[in-house]
Amino acid sequence: MAFNGGMSAPAHRPAVFGGSAHPADPSAPAGTFAPGTKIQVGNHKVVIQKYFSEGGFAHVYLVKMPKPIDGTDIAILKRVAVPDKENLANMRTEVETMKKLKGHRPIVTYYDSHASQLQGGGYEVFLLMEFCNGGGLIDFMNTRLQNRLTEPEILKIFSDVAEGPKGNLPF
């Protein structure tokens, strides 16, 4: 089921075009894609560059796109294992929210997505989005454990967080 045009009935698995001769990162968890693996995510055929991180039910990869978007051909691919339709609906909400917030400077830009039903049950969802090389807010905060954030820094963070959804969500 493609999220990119709105979700519909379950689709077949996205095309995975095999890996390269490069072995998978030995520190990566089992089931991760090897560098060089090509994956179709909606309208984008991306190539895995490296395994980035994991969290919850997701693996995150740095990928290369065939055509640049906003001046870069590097993006992030979030691969999420979803156990049931209820959690799939939550992922649909995440995608729809990202689409609504597209174009706001402090919000990571959504590019495309794809969901498919797995043979053994559950679903697999791919989210393709902007790569932000500065890391996340948590990464920044962790660099400041010894020297606390200043009041202007805290106000800037709060302003950026509040600016993203303003005017786009009903609250």
Predicted local distance difference test score (pLDDT) of residue 17: 53
For residues 60 and 126, what is the distance between their CA atoms, to the nearest angstrom?
10
For residues 7 and 149, what is the distance between their CA atoms, to the nearest angstrom?
41
Quote the DSSP letter at residue 28.
S
Closest to 34 measured CA to CA, from 23, 45, 46: 23
Could you say which of 1.10.10.60, 1.10.510.10, 3.30.230.10, 3.90.1010.10 is the CATH number of the domain covering 1-133? 1.10.510.10
What are the residues whose beta carbons fall under 8 Å from the beta carbon of 100, sequence distance 6 or more?
A: 168, 169
Give me 40's structure tokens. 């179709």
Report the length, in residues, of the chain: 171
* Domain(s) of CATH 1.10.510.10: residues in the chain: 1-133
Task: Say if CB 39 and CB 126 are below 8 A apart.
Answer: yes
Task: Say if CB 46 and CB 75 are below 8 A apart.
Answer: yes
- Concatenated DSSP letters of 99-112: HHTTT-TTSPPEEE
Predicted local distance difference test score (pLDDT) of residue 168: 58
Task: Say if CB 124 and CB 79 are below 8 A apart.
Answer: yes
pLDDT by 10s per residue, the chain, length 171: 444 434 433 444 555 555 544 455 667 777 789 999 999 999 999 999 999 888 778 899 999 999 999 899 999 999 999 999 999 999 999 899 888 888 777 788 999 999 999 998 999 999 999 998 877 788 888 888 999 999 999 998 888 888 766 655 555
Q: 3-state SS of 70-81? A: CCEEEEEEEEEE
Q: CA triplet 19, 75, 128: central angle to 5 degrees?
A: 85
